[in-house]
Amino acid sequence: MRKSVVRFHQQQKHNAAKRGFFRRHLLLFILIASLLTISGGTYWYLHYKDVADTKIRNDAHSKYLTAADANIQRLKELKIKHAQQAEAEAKAKAEADEAARKAAATQAPSGSTASNKVCDVTNAAVITVVVNKKHCFNPITWAPSDLTSLGGYLLRAEAAGQLNGMMNDAAAAGVGFSLSSAYRSYSDQAATYSNWVAVNGSQAAADTVSARPGYSEHQTGLAADLKVGGCALECFKGSAAYTWLTQNAANYGFIQRYPDGLTSITGYSPEAWHWRYVGVATATDMKAKGIQTLEQYFGISGGDYS
């Protein structure tokens, strides 16, 4: 009986100790539960915010890509439109030049041709033809039959193909250039020459920088005037493109037609911008032999009109 009473009291003391433990640590339990609740809430909030932010970024990126695709498509359509316009303009110019050529061919030649000159260039279709102040076209309104457009300018087909390749390679080398003039018909040259006479004040002064109609290399469809951006004529000589051409043009069949120091032979002041197609074989042979003019290479008379 005594043992049972002892165990009873011991059990009561144990239970009282447990209740005391929970009472003493209740605040701690509440604090831990609160921290767990706050941590869980914070985690849920951050996760939700990250999901929402990701959705916002994805939506913004999707809108950007949609706008970029639309802009690219618009630029493609604009480029196609410009190409079509350029092609139409080049075609219209070619048709107008051909109409002018036919009209001029039905009229007696006019302009400032030398009265005592018998024009003897009857082989104008030959790639190596020489036209200068002593040798003019016969018939004087001759025009090539294989003109094609390059960047809106007309050239004979073979010359245009070689020039296009040369322009592309120069651009790839970082020294790109473009055309400022190419084929000019007899009537075009008559207008050009008249303008130079007016600008220079006399025919004699104009003769140093422009050919009389019927005497111009541009009428062959084998000559091209080049430029770099807005730099044409005299300033072209100081360009990197000019340096590249002096080293590489022969490989494409082109020569600088009117070089420095040879005015007495060519009849013209130096023109760094004026390049003439003569074919790869002739151009490379001239370069190898150190011959700069067609007059010297073929033994043809040159110089002034008289």
208-253 confidence digits (pLDDT tens): 888 999 999 999 999 999 999 989 889 999 999 999 999 999 999 9
Instruction: Name 119's Cβ contacts closer than 8 Å, sequence gap at least 6.
Output: 113, 135, 136, 137, 138, 139, 140, 214
In the predicted model, what is the mean pLDDT of the chain?
Answer: 82
DSSP string of 194-242?
Answer: HHHHHHHSSHHHHTTTSPPTTS-GGGGT-EEEEEBTTB-GGGGGGSHHH
Report the relative pairing of strands 254-258 and 223-227 from DSSP bridges.
unpaired
Per-residue pLDDT tens over the stretch 10-56: 565 655 555 555 566 666 667 776 777 777 667 777 777 677 777 78
Report how far Cα 34 is from the mean position of its chain's Cα atoms. Answer: 71
pLDDT value of residue 14 = 58
**Do residues 126 and 277 touch, judged by C-beta distance below 8 A?**
no
**Do residues 35 and 43 touch, judged by C-beta distance below 8 A?**
no
Which one of the listed residues 95, 217, 271, 295 is annotated catalytic?
A: 271
Tell me the C-alpha to C-alpha distance, in Å, between residue 188 and each of 101, 111, 193: 9, 11, 9
Q: Which residue has the higher pLDDT, 110 or 178?
A: 178
**Do residues 270 and 260 touch, judged by C-beta distance below 8 A?**
yes
Return the exposure string of 232-255: e unless at least 16 CB atoms fall within 10 Å of the residue's CB, then b: beeebbebebbebbeeebbebbbb
Q: Is pLDDT at 98 greater than 70 in this prediction?
A: no
pLDDT value of residue 145 = 95
Tell me the C-alpha to C-alpha distance, in Å, between residue 291 and each of 58, 151, 296: 68, 31, 7
pLDDT band (50, 70, 90) for residue 74: confident
Instruction: Name 89's Cβ contacts closer than 8 Å, sequence gap at least 6.
Output: 152
Per-residue pLDDT tens over the stretch 113-160: 443 456 999 999 999 999 999 999 999 999 999 999 999 999 999 999
Cα torsion angle, 138, 142, 148, 150, sign: positive
**Distance separating alpha carbons of residues 75 and 7, to the nearest angstrom:** 97
Per-residue pLDDT tens over the stretch 281-296: 999 999 999 999 999 9
Residue of 164, 185, 167, 187 whose CA lies nearest to 175: 167
Q: Is pLDDT at 76 greater than 80 in this prediction?
A: no
**Do residues 128 and 279 touch, judged by C-beta distance below 8 A?**
yes
**Do residues 276 and 216 touch, judged by C-beta distance below 8 A?**
no
Active site residue 217: no
Cα torsion angle, 201, 260, 137, 191, sign: negative
Q: Three-state DSSP class for 108?
A: coil
**Distance separating alpha carbons of residues 140 and 127, to the nearest angstrom:** 18
Tell me the C-alpha to C-alpha distance, in Å, between residue 271 and each of 73, 136, 227, 236: 44, 20, 12, 9
pTM of the complete model: 0.63
Q: Is pLDDT at 81 greater than 60 in this prediction?
A: yes
Q: Is pLDDT at 172 greater than 60 in this prediction?
A: yes
pLDDT band (50, 70, 90) for residue 105: very low
Q: Three-state DSSP class for 268?
A: coil
pLDDT value of residue 276 = 98
pLDDT band (50, 70, 90) for residue 57: confident
Q: Is pLDDT at 109 greater than 60 in this prediction?
A: no
**Do residues 275 and 245 touch, judged by C-beta distance below 8 A?**
yes
